[in-house]
Amino acid sequence: MAKSVFSPLSKEQEDAVHLESIKILEEVGIKVTSEKVLKMLEDNGAKVDHRTLIAKLSERMVRAALAKAPKEFLMCGRNKANDLKLPAEDHVQGVNDGQPTDVWDINTQSKRKATMNDLIDLTLVNDAMPETDLYWAEVVATDIPPEISNLHEYAASLAYTSKHIQHGAGDVTDAGYLIRMATAVVGSEKELAKRPIVSITHTPITPLRYEKGDIEAAVMFAKAKLPVVHLSMAISGSVCPVTLAGTISLVNAENLGGIVISEVAGPGAPVLYSSESGPMDMRTGMFLSGSTEGALINAAGCQMARRYRLPSQVGGVAASGTRPGYEIGYQKAISGLIPALAGADQIVGFGGFDRSGCESAEQVVMDCELWRNLLRATRGVKVDNETMGFDAIARVGPGGYFMKDIHTLKNFKSEILLPKIAMRQSAPDSKEEPIMTAAREEVKRILKEHRPIPLDKSVKLELREILKMYDTELHGKPISTKYLDRLG
């Protein structure tokens, strides 16, 4: 498990949240709009009302699911050097934000609709940034017909990053094609189960509603032994209680419900406990992304995941601010640091702002600068004879200066985090924060110089054939896949 130095709940409160969640599942139940999944739950002990589509899950079913869920597994990349072990061991794993329809234009410094070219740019930047451990296709390519854009976004992600890719599947058709594409890369479905290079997010509609397409896709992934992130996006005061304790209990119930479905469908299926939740602004009805309360809810999710010995992926490095600047910075720092200290295995958010409604390549770079600081905070203070430095203190003596001492030369790189793009002088005539200018320069450098590990030609050819079948089935005719050759 990732190191935890902060627990928002006492042991008694943690127990109370667990019992409240069980009570919700047993007495209120979950609404599942898939008759197929309802029948599966009923066959495994759930009390199902087929008229209301409500399934009531017993504590026994929850215990059985948690016993079957693997406590350790890999989320693999095309390049084995990018494989991620869960639970996280040496550091909290960073994840970029995804997947709105808007992007921040690097040239006009304004919001507009995202294209496939923007998705490729964002993929390349995240592939180049070592802080991004796992990649989520960052924007929707709105220049692709909407009924087929999902698989094309995954194909582009495969082509331009060798990291693990997390994506979405709104129905079994999309889920099946995602599995086929990932299988084409690794060679067989058996090998894909061993080296899962793809995962999906399943997001119930809070409160407690599991939609047919999404949940059937999650079931397909569970049967294929591919990771599913059961992502609760609860909004306090809107679709769940306004109190933090009520929200945390509902988030926990939704996660447990999703995990039961996964483990009934495919015993031993890898699952991640997930929350990207927060309060509603009671003045406007808007979601307060990047809030302290949201960070506490997500941190409590990390604590409940540890209770169940499940890896966690939670929201953080998030912001409600509508353009890069100070407001986004403080919101991202608050929302990222609290769950990081609470022992999150993965935190999602690089590049996003405006309530995850817009993505920016420059923001990815700035968020990675922030992330380095958050990781430094989670590392804490190392105390031993070397770091306490008595010999150095004795050598330098009262009134001395430590800069030239060998102890400083040996230890400063491991003890002090040096900024990469922050703390620069601004140009005399510039009206922009220096970090913004530096981030933009870094994005341009990456797009000019960075080259990801390419797909094999035979694999790319097979992906094109799969895309043709997908396009023909859902759109009536194939569309161009020249975007796969942007780098030659």
Rounded Cα distance, 252 and 260, in Å:
12
Place 1 in a pLDDT band, splitting at 50, 70 and 90: very low
Place 421 in a pLDDT band, splitting at 50, 70 and 90: confident
Query: Phi/psi class of residue 109: alpha, beta or left (left: φ > 0; alpha: ψ in -120 to 50)?
Result: left
Which residues, in sequence order, are bridge partners of residue 314? 275, 347
Task: Give the tokens for residue 246.
Answer: 């009520």
In this predicted model, what pLDDT tens digit does every residue of 173-192 receive, in sequence order? 999 999 999 999 999 999 99
At how many degrees (to 10) do helices 116-128 and 434-449 cross? 100
End-to-end CA distance of the chain: 41
* Mean pLDDT value across the chain: 96
Q: Which amino acid is at 132?
A: T
Q: What is the dihedral angle through the alpha carbons of 231, 181, 92, 319, rounded to the nearest 10 degrees?
A: -50
Mean pLDDT of 63-73: 98
Q: What is the pLDDT of residue 393?
A: 96
Q: Are strands 235-236 and 278-279 parallel, antiparallel or unpaired?
A: parallel
- Could you please report the per-residue DSSP string of 96-120? E----SEEE-TTT-SEEE--HHHHH
Rounded Cα distance, 455 and 441, in Å:
28
In this predicted model, what pLDDT tens digit does every residue of 262-304 receive, in sequence order? 999 999 999 999 999 999 999 999 999 999 999 999 999 999 9
Task: Give the tokens for residue 349.
Answer: 């958010």
Mean pLDDT of 389-400: 96
Place 2 in a pLDDT band, splitting at 50, 70 and 90: low
In this predicted model, what pLDDT tens digit does every residue of 207-227 receive, in sequence order? 999 999 999 999 999 999 999
**3-state SS track over 322-368:** CCCCHHHHHHHHHHHHHHHHCCCCEEEEECEECCCCEECHHHHHHHH
Q: What is the pLDDT of residue 426?
A: 67
Place 326 in a pLDDT band, splitting at 50, 70 and 90: confident
* This prediction's pTM: 0.96
Q: What is the pLDDT of residue 3?
A: 64
Q: Are strands 54-56 and 30-32 parallel, antiparallel or unpaired?
A: antiparallel
3-state helix, strand, coil in the chain (%, to 5): 45, 15, 40
Rounded Cα distance, 119 and 113, in Å:
11
Domains of the chain (ranges plus CATH)? 67-379 (3.20.20.480), 385-449 (no CATH)
pLDDT at 429 over 90: no
Q: Residue 278: name the closest of 261, 295, 255 by CA.
A: 295
Q: Residue 265: name the closest of 219, 299, 221 by CA.
A: 219
Q: What is the pLDDT of residue 325?
A: 78
The DSSP output letter for 236 is E
pLDDT at 235 over 70: yes
Residues 297 and 234 sit within 8 Å (Cβ to Cβ): yes
Q: Exposure string (b/e) for 252-264, b if CB count within 10 Å is 16 or more?
A: bbbbbbbbbbbbb
Q: Residue 37 contacts by C-beta under 8 Å, 6 or more apart in sequence?
A: 210, 212, 215, 216, 219, 261, 265
Mean pLDDT of 459-466: 98
Lowest mean per-residue pLDDT among 3-7, 437-441, 459-463: 3-7
pLDDT at 25 over 70: yes
- Please, what is the Cα angle at 299 between 376 and 270, to 5 degrees? 95
Mean pLDDT of 353-376: 96
Mean pLDDT of 441-448: 97
Q: What is the pLDDT of residue 433?
A: 84
Task: Give the tokens for residue 334.
Answer: 């608050």
Residue 405 to residues 77, 299, 402: CA-CA distances in angstroms?
43, 41, 5
Q: What is the pLDDT of residue 427?
A: 67
Residues 361 and 106 sit within 8 Å (Cβ to Cβ): yes
